[in-house]
């Protein structure tokens, strides 16, 4: 099985499987459940694996486009998103890891851009790596396929924690997520996304609108 669900808001993603229409469906199904689920709490993905050398030979641009949109949808969910990764992570596993709000990896985890015969895959992961860690920090990974070890990923803020036992962190995140309004979380996440690509003047209106929304949500004074 390429991936499996466990409970309402959890997916086990097998990165050894090539990107396909099934991959898109799994991610969209998780997002559907996250959007329909009434109770607070994170949407969690457990990911690991590297696809085989020929993973891209049957791929079409149409599937790639749908996958990128599904990952972007996960990235913009109105609830906390968490990825717990282990082992070597490439392909779909790396894509989803870099799209999560919180990233926890096991010791020895390595982040690897997927290889396509004579170069690395030029998907949106290149954009996320560059945007999150800077061009100088990731150029060898993107240009030469050099793995990013767990400790270096932590130093570059590509992951938040290296842990043999993520259970305590996950429990704490579940509790914290209950205090966060999903819509407000999504607004602040979007402000973070836009901060690196907009000027202060262009961003000001969006921040003022978010501030105004927050002030309007205050309970009336007694």
Mean pLDDT by 10 residues, the chain (222 residues): 54 96 96 89 95 93 95 92 97 97 97 93 92 94 96 97 93 76 75 74 78 74 48
pLDDT reported for residue 123: 92
Longest Cα pair distance anywhere in the chain, in angstroms? 68
Say what the pLDDT of residue 7 is. 45
pLDDT of residue 1: 36
Per DSSP, the three-state class of 31 is helix
Handedness of CA 17, 9, 37, 128 (dihedral sign): negative
Query: What is the model's pLDDT at position 38?
Result: 81
pTM of the model: 0.84
Q: E strand or H helix at 206, and its extent? A: helix 200-216
| Rounded CA separation 31/34 (Å) | 5
Please tell me the predicted confidence (pLDDT) of residue 179. 66
- 112 close to 145: Cβ distance less than 8 angstroms: yes
Structure token digits, residue 66 = 């749908």
Contact 87/169 with Cβ under 8 angstroms? no
How many other CB atoms are found less than 10 A from the CB of residue 166? 21
The dihedral built from the CA positions of residue 8, 12, 15 and 19, taken in this order, carries a sign that is negative
pLDDT of residue 2: 45
Question: What per-residue confidence (pLDDT) applies to 8?
Answer: 63
Give dist(CA 220, CA 216) in Å, integer: 9
């Amino acid at each position: 099985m390429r991936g499996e669900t466990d409970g309402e808001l959890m997916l086990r993603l097998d990165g050894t499987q090539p990107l396909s229409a099934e991959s898109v469906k799994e991610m969209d199904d998780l997002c559907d459940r996250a959007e329909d689920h009434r109770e607070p709490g994170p949407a969690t993905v457990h990911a690991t694996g590297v696809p085989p050398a020929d993973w891209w030979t049957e791929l079409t641009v149409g599937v790639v486009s749908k996958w990128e949109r599904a990952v972007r949808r996960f990235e913009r969910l109105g609830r906390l998103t968490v990825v717990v990764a282990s082992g070597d992570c490439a392909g779909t596993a790396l894509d989803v890891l870099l799209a999560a709000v919180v990233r926890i990896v096991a010791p020895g985890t390595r982040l690897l851009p997927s290889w396509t015969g004579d170069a690395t895959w030029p998907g949106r992961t290149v954009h996320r790596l560059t945007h999150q860690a800077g061009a100088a920090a990731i150029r060898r990974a993107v240009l030469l396929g050099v793995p990013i070890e767990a400790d270096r990923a932590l130093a570059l803020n590509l992951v938040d924690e290296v842990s043999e036992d993520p259970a305590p962190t996950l429990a704490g995140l579940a509790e914290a997520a209950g205090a966060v309004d999903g819509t407000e979380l999504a607004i602040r996440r979007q402000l973070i996304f836009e901060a690196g690509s907009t000027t202060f003047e262009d961003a000001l209106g969006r921040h003022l609108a978010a501030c105004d929304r927050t002030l309007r949500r205050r309970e009336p004074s007694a």
